[in-house]
Structure 1
Amino acid sequence: MFNLPQALKRLVIGRAMRSEELGGTLLPKRLALPIFASDPLSSVAYATQEILLVLTVGGTAFLYLTPWIALGVVVLMAVVVMSYRQVVHAYPSGGGSYEVVSTNLGDRAGLVVAASLLVDYVMTVAVSVASGVDNIISAFDGLAGYRVPLALGFVALLTAMNLRGVRESGTAFAVPTYLFIGGIVLMVGTGLIRLAFGDGPQASSAAYGIVPEDGRDTLAGLGLLLLGLRAFASGCTALTGVEAISNGVPAFRRPKSRNAATTLAVMGLAAVVMFSGITALALTSDVHYVDDACQLTGLPTDCADYVQPTVVAQLAAAVFGGYHSVLFYGIQAVTALVLVLAANTAFNGFPLLASILAQHRYLPAQLHSRGDRLAFSNGILALAVVAGGLLWLYDANVTSLIHLYILGVFTSFTLSQIGMVRHWNGVLRRGPDSAARAAARRSRVINAVGAVTTALVLVIVLITKFTQGAWLAVVAAILLWLMMRGIRRHYDAVAVELAVTDPQAESARPSRVHGIVLVSRLHKATLRALGYAEAFHPDALEAVTVAVEEDAVADLRAQWLEFDVRIPLKVLDSPYREITKPVVAYVRECRRTSPRDAVAVFIPEYVVGHWWEQLLHNQSALWLKSRLLFTPGVMVISVPWQLTSSGRAYRPSRRAPGSVRRGEPVLHGDHGRIGPPENS
């Protein structure tokens, strides 16, 4: 029978893949780069913009700080990339920062990293998609009113692509990523060449003045320092996603560690070149970008109606001849596309980390299993739901979302580098040969510098962004940490409770088995349940019905006698017309009467083919099961009857087992209360 949901599933994610096909999904470096590094590569599209956004609160007075802040970001990028190259060589199993910290600093510190990264992966999806939508609106400002639907649509598209599998998503995302790198390099190169020949491009916003916020244009001393640190913290968004490669080492082709380290180096070099070029071009072309458009003076329209083009959009228009040139639209297209696809870094990092945490019993076990396409489908769907909720809650606004960002990244950066220093200390204590000791010392220095640097940045980010919304990310990470600890305690408690301590006692059979078949009417489904229960040969067997309507009970008794059913029928009174309570009370009374006995309750159920039919059947059975399962010593057994709509109805060639002719005895036995029929 045609299954529409299954057909739609196959259309979206493709055919199911066998477990042994997992090796065919491993990635070469050319595909691993767009999959795992699209986030840090695309972050350069808004990192410079975020620096300018902070500095222009004082008008144009503090834009001279931009080159120094950008230099600090570049140095930090180099340090972090070199540090994580040590991680992929030392821990190639794919745990990344979580594995490093858990191994060297303990499980609790490892969970801090895990919680921080999970929160940051969610923010990566939200910020990347929102920024991509911003670039689309910069080219087509008529879409400004559809910001949230566009963002949610892109999340749904990314989810579908990733459910198809890592390799397929990499193939789809590789071309836009490489086009983005080429487009930015072309734009920066063209702009700097024009500048060298005295024809430097001028941004459209260069003609607008900036009104500083009250008192911000006279900042000095500590105030100026804090402003510069805040701008630096915002520029550090360029580093988000660097750790994803260390989490995804198992997805690389062999030699895994070397390929991952090479990909990290290429990613770092490309990101530094693009970020430096965009920043230099933004300064020389006098880009003015503010938090509130009403800070700008000389606008051609009312500030409330003015939509600021992004920094990249302004540069592309200045370099390539205006907002309607072909190359402008090309740059905007690939920038918007790669920003949306940058969320793919999180769609690979989040499910991998969640799978490892589930394997360690810190998250639900379902997150560890792979789906039809050998991707961690449950993790992908969980990420999509949470990120989509954030985009909807914050109206897909980059400025609002960015304050929740990067805190988790630098928490994991700092703790992982401290963990790596301890790792190299352990290596040196084990006394390797002189060459290995020299390499270990060199690596320890790199990681020590990384630890100190990222710790300073973490403090800066915490101070400058905490009151602007970063506290929400802190609270989310703390709640996630507590939840994971609770999940682990639950799994540990269950393992202890289920552990076998006395095999003989714990495998002992019950003294007797009391079988109960729940009956409402005497039809084929009931007769099958009675026959199935009898096949178990319980020590006692009875049918039980509830007297909700006296006429229905009378008809049932009459049929019972007419068909000569030899299994005793017990009728439970129900003055308040309830079904569940009388049955549960009777079953519990059976247990109290004979505590060493087991009670087996057989429930006939219909199997239907349509969801709406399920609403018409089995509701009483479902509620009964949910109550009986909490009663110790009671086994609940469903006996299905497939209706024709299920497509699997039983169609006997002559006569179905259990069908009844009038006057024919049925379902008789030779044990317990079940005696032979009088005429046998």
Structure 2
Amino acid sequence: MAAVQSVPDLVKRALVGRPVRSERLNATLLPKRIALPVFASDALSSVAYAPDEILLTLSLAGMAAVTLAPWVGVAVVVVMMAVVASYRQTVHAYPSGGGGYAVVRENLGARAGMVVASALLVDYVLTVAVSVSSGMQYLAAAIPAARGHEVVLGVAVVVVLAVLNLRGVRESGTAFAVPVYAFIGSIGLMLLVGVWQLVTGTMHTAASASFTIAPNAAFSQGLTGLAGGFLVLRAFSSGSAALTGIEAVSNGVPAFRRPKSRNAATTLLLLGLIAATMLMSILLLAGATGLRFAQDPATQLLLHGRPVGHGYAQDPVISQIAATVFHGVPVLFVLVTITTGFILVLAANTAFNGFPALGSVLARDGLLPRQMHTRGDRLAFSNGIVLLAAGACAFIIAFGAEVTRLIQLYIVGVFVSFTLSQFGMVRHWGRHLLGERDRQVRAHMRRSRAINTFGGVLTSVVLVIVLVTKFTHGAWIAVLLMAVLFLGMRGIARHYEGVSRDITVLDPSVSRALPPRVHGIVLVSKLHEPAMRAIAYARATRPTTLEALTVNIDSDETAALRQAWEEFEIPVPLTVLGSPFREITRPVVDYVRSVRWEAPRDLVVVFVPEYVVSHWWEQALHNQSALRLKARLLFTPGVVMASVPFQLHEEDRLDRPAHPGADGARRGTA
């Protein structure tokens, strides 16, 4: 006969699916065609807003500054390809996953590893919050009815993404593959058509090309002086958001099919080439179409010398380019807009794969709760998925789903990880060179070390730029969260180390020795079936001494208990504790501790009769005294709490008479 499932179990099965056997783990591993959309959607989605951030920042200095956007893009691409090349070395050297954390922990020490881990965990949460919030802004632009409800819709999207990932990595990857490839295809088509129009001289100008951009008052002199250079660095740091997501591949190497390292390295290369091509093409087409994009369009965009005002709605860069390139073909324009909105939302899926995998590695190393290392019913790291979703929802709610505010917290953690992991790889190759004698292998190691050195220098420069340009704009919040996580991981590590030390068997002969004596104490309030069962169970354990214990709260009830005790001839002495203030917990705890103090080497076992109810809401009506006693005695050495359950409303109990009101039969006197 099949077991009857509870309502929560039925809901869980409907959302998550049936459990998957552990032997099926290999079947959930990802081929490259699925791994690309699973791990690369974050980096690819950065193409949707990295050009916007570059142009927005440069627009503060006016029209002339915007012409520098392609050169800023080149700088971003150089860093991106250096990071891709560096992480390709990492996935070959550390195929077990963990990415930057594993590299830094092994080569730079545990504390540096915790710095990287805290940075990545914060950035994964922000990835979900930024991506989903950006997608909600696209949705609000396309559907005016959604405007004002971005927070609620964003939280709902995060919940849906969490449920899809709880169903398993492979299943979620298959679901997300189509929109990711649709985005790549639609953007690729737009770029090809745009380049063709540019070469043939048939390209139209953007609708915003008729505007001019007025500089902000602080940059009325353009990019001259220190302020101008600082603005260019800000544009570069904002455009560096395009690098987010690259590290997710190195964290998720165990999710790839064999050969894991080669497949992960190939996916990294494809990711870098696609993202770099898209970023540069979009910036070049933005310049070719005369597109105007301003930080404050209402006041900065001028038509015939006058501001356009708040009635003007500024579309994102990709939308403006698509409208220009596909002039007269609205279907293709809609396709680009829809797939871009989808990729912005689905970019969060990269974090939903990277965060749980990294959390599992950290839990294995004793830096996060051990539950993070446990796979769920669908062989996904369910606890990590739920924790990530909760954190992302908190950010979306706290920042009102505003990308402009959230983006300031972004990418700090990524470049902390990039920088430390690259220098960790430099030390890794240096250590292995000392023991390697093969000339060909040594040459390969030197090349790898040179690549990682170049990547480490670049990312450290970018990290300084990001911290300097973004710290006062909100990056300090991310730094603070990293510090909190770092301290939390140190505390968790100390706790697990202490537990391991306390439970280690030092002397097997002492550990196997039985306690000199065992004192049994049965707690009773009335002489009813639960009490009788607890007494019977206590006697069956054969303790050295056994007594029943009650607290005198009501003199009449205590007298009735004494009378019933004598009438039933219970072969266990009854001890009555006084309680002038009508407390139950404190007198019992004090008495148990006094027994323990009199014989420190003995064991005290407290037997507690407890009701087992049929409905969850009935739990609040019973067992409260037992719970309080357990909580108080839990930390008392040498004391064991033994719960003796008694099932209520059990109509088919074999030990209960047919007529429940027959007291004589219940007492065994019939």
Q: Into which bin does the TM-score normalised by the smaller protein fall?
A: over 0.9
Is the partner of 1:145 in helix, strand or coil? coil
Equivalent residue, structure 1, for 2:315: 309
Is the partner of 1:501 in helix, strand or coil? coil
Equivalent residue, structure 2, for 1:16: 19
What is the alpha-carbon distance in structure 2 between the residues aligned to residue 250 and residue 659 of structure 1? 64
What is the alpha-carbon distance in structure 2 between the residues aligned to residue 186 and residue 247 of structure 1? 31
Preserved contact between residue 417 and residue 451 of structure 1 (Cα < 8 Å):
yes
From the superposition, tell whether residues 654 and 456 of structure 1 become closer, same or farther in structure 2 (CA, over 3 Å): closer
What is the alpha-carbon distance in structure 2 between the residues aligned to residue 405 and residue 524 of structure 1? 63
Residues 371-390 of structure 1: pairs in structure 2 closer than 5 A: 371-390=376-395
From the superposition, tell whether residues 195 and 466 of structure 1 become closer, same or farther in structure 2 (CA, over 3 Å): same
Q: Residue 174 of structure 1: which of 177, 180, 201 is its match?
A: 177
Task: Give the deviation of 1:428 after TM superposition.
Answer: 2.0
Preserved contact between residue 563 and residue 664 of structure 1 (Cα < 8 Å):
no
Preserved contact between residue 657 and residue 665 of structure 2 (Cα < 8 Å):
no
Equivalent residue, structure 2, for 1:569: 574
Preserved contact between residue 32 and residue 263 of structure 2 (Cα < 8 Å):
yes
Q: Are 2:323 and 1:321 equivalent residues in the alignment?
A: no
Task: Give the deviation of 1:654 after TM superposition.
Answer: 7.2
Residues 393-408 of structure 1: pairs in structure 2 closer than 5 A: 393-408=398-413
Task: Give the deviation of 1:36 after TM superposition.
Answer: 0.9
Is the partner of 1:555 in helix, strand or coil? helix
> Alpha-carbon deviations, 1:65-93, whole Å to 9, x = none?
10100111111111111111111111111
> Alpha-carbon deviations, 1:178-209, whole Å to 9, x = none?
00000111122222323333332333333333
Task: Give the deviation of 1:660 after TM superposition.
Answer: 9.5
From the superposition, tell whether residues 138 and 188 of structure 1 become closer, same or farther in structure 2 (CA, over 3 Å): farther
Task: Give the deviation of 1:608 after TM superposition.
Answer: 2.3
Q: Which amino acid aligns with 1:18?
A: R
What is the alpha-carbon distance in structure 2 between the residues aligned to residue 243 and residue 266 of structure 1? 14
Q: Are 2:8 and 1:5 equivalent residues in the alignment?
A: yes
From the superposition, tell whether residues 547 and 321 of structure 1 become closer, same or farther in structure 2 (CA, over 3 Å): farther
* Unaligned 5+ runs, structure 1: 667-678
Is the partner of 2:314 in helix, strand or coil? coil
Is the partner of 2:366 in helix, strand or coil? coil
6-15 vs 433-442, which moves further: 433-442
Task: Give the deviation of 1:53 after TM superposition.
Answer: 1.1
Q: Are 2:203 and 1:200 equivalent residues in the alignment?
A: yes
From the superposition, tell whether residues 211 and 643 of structure 1 become closer, same or farther in structure 2 (CA, over 3 Å): farther
Q: Are 2:49 and 1:43 equivalent residues in the alignment?
A: no
Residues 572-583 of structure 1: pairs in structure 2 closer than 5 A: 572-583=577-588
Q: Residue 425 of structure 2: which of 398, 420, 424 is its match?
A: 420
Q: Are 2:279 and 1:249 equivalent residues in the alignment?
A: no
From the superposition, tell whether residues 663 and 131 of structure 1 become closer, same or farther in structure 2 (CA, over 3 Å): closer
Equivalent residue, structure 1, for 2:94: 91
Q: Are 2:665 and 1:630 equivalent residues in the alignment?
A: no
From the superposition, tell whether residues 121 and 568 of structure 1 become closer, same or farther in structure 2 (CA, over 3 Å): same
Q: Which amino acid aligns with 1:344?
A: N
Preserved contact between residue 26 and residue 251 of structure 1 (Cα < 8 Å):
yes
Residues 335-414 of structure 1: pairs in structure 2 closer than 5 A: 335-414=340-419
Preserved contact between residue 294 and residue 301 of structure 2 (Cα < 8 Å):
no
Equivalent residue, structure 1, for 2:220: 217
What is the alpha-carbon distance in structure 2 between the residues aligned to residue 512 and residue 103 of structure 1? 49
Residues 51-200 of structure 1: pairs in structure 2 closer than 5 A: 51-200=54-203
What is the alpha-carbon distance in structure 1 between the residues aligned to residue 529 and residue 288 of structure 2? 85
What is the alpha-carbon distance in structure 1 between the residues aligned to residue 365 and residue 253 of structure 2? 19
Q: Residue 238 of structure 1: which of 238, 242, 262 is its match?
A: 242
Task: Give the deviation of 1:245 after TM superposition.
Answer: 0.7
Preserved contact between residue 139 and residue 329 of structure 1 (Cα < 8 Å):
no
Task: Give the deviation of 1:11 after TM superposition.
Answer: 0.7
Q: Which amino acid aligns with 2:170?
A: R
TM-score, L = length of structure 2:
0.94
Equivalent residue, structure 1, for 2:37: 34
Task: Give the deviation of 1:520 after TM superposition.
Answer: 2.0
Q: Residue 291 of structure 2: which of 287, 290, 294 is its match?
A: 287
Is the partner of 1:662 in helix, strand or coil? helix
Q: Which amino acid aligns with 1:427?
A: H
Preserved contact between residue 216 and residue 300 of structure 2 (Cα < 8 Å):
no
What is the alpha-carbon distance in structure 1 between the residues aligned to residue 311 and residue 526 of structure 2? 71
From the superposition, tell whether residues 540 and 58 of structure 1 become closer, same or farther in structure 2 (CA, over 3 Å): same
What is the alpha-carbon distance in structure 1 between the residues aligned to residue 655 and residue 8 of structure 2? 32
58-67 vs 395-404, which moves further: 58-67
Q: Which runs of 4+ in 1 moved over 6 A?
A: 299-302, 658-661, 663-666
TM-score, L = length of structure 1:
0.93
> Alpha-carbon deviations, 1:513-554, whole Å to 9, x = none?
111111122222222111111110112212212222233323
Considering only aligned residues, what root-mean-square deviation do their CA atoms show, in Å? 2.3
What is the alpha-carbon distance in structure 1 between the residues aligned to residue 206 and residue 141 of structure 2? 14
What is the alpha-carbon distance in structure 1 between the residues aligned to residue 656 and residue 467 of structure 2? 78
Task: Give the deviation of 1:505 after TM superposition.
Answer: 2.9
Q: Which amino acid aligns with 1:147?
A: E
Task: Give the deviation of 1:58 after TM superposition.
Answer: 1.9
Equivalent residue, structure 2, for 1:530: 535
**Percent sequence identity over aligned pairs:** 55
> Alpha-carbon deviations, 1:487-517, whole Å to 9, x = none?
1111112212222223333433222211111
Task: Give the deviation of 1:100 after TM superposition.
Answer: 1.1
Is the partner of 1:403 in helix, strand or coil? helix
What is the alpha-carbon distance in structure 1 between the residues aligned to residue 298 and residue 184 of structure 2? 33
Q: Are 2:465 and 1:463 equivalent residues in the alignment?
A: no
What is the alpha-carbon distance in structure 2 between the residues aligned to residue 633 and residue 578 of structure 1? 24
Preserved contact between residue 563 and residue 661 of structure 1 (Cα < 8 Å):
no
Preserved contact between residue 39 and residue 249 of structure 2 (Cα < 8 Å):
yes
From the superposition, tell whether residues 588 and 132 of structure 1 become closer, same or farther in structure 2 (CA, over 3 Å): same
> Alpha-carbon deviations, 1:615-672, whole Å to 9, x = none?
111111111100011112111011112233xxx776228759x999639988xxxxxx
Equivalent residue, structure 2, for 1:491: 496
What is the alpha-carbon distance in structure 2 between the residues aligned to residue 356 and residue 296 of structure 1? 49
From the superposition, tell whether residues 368 and 304 of structure 1 become closer, same or farther in structure 2 (CA, over 3 Å): same
Q: Which amino acid aligns with 1:223?
A: A
From the superposition, tell whether residues 609 and 662 of structure 1 become closer, same or farther in structure 2 (CA, over 3 Å): closer
What is the alpha-carbon distance in structure 1 between the residues aligned to residue 314 and residue 525 of structure 2? 70
Task: Give the deviation of 1:297 after TM superposition.
Answer: 4.0
Q: Are 2:596 and 1:594 equivalent residues in the alignment?
A: no
Q: Are 2:622 and 1:617 equivalent residues in the alignment?
A: yes
**Count of residue correspondences:** 662
> Alpha-carbon deviations, 1:289-340, whole Å to 9, x = none?
2333332445899844554322222222222337x93322222221111111
Preserved contact between residue 126 and residue 406 of structure 2 (Cα < 8 Å):
yes
What is the alpha-carbon distance in structure 1 between the residues aligned to residue 61 and residue 652 of structure 2? 79
What is the alpha-carbon distance in structure 2 between the residues aligned to residue 81 and residue 192 of structure 1? 26
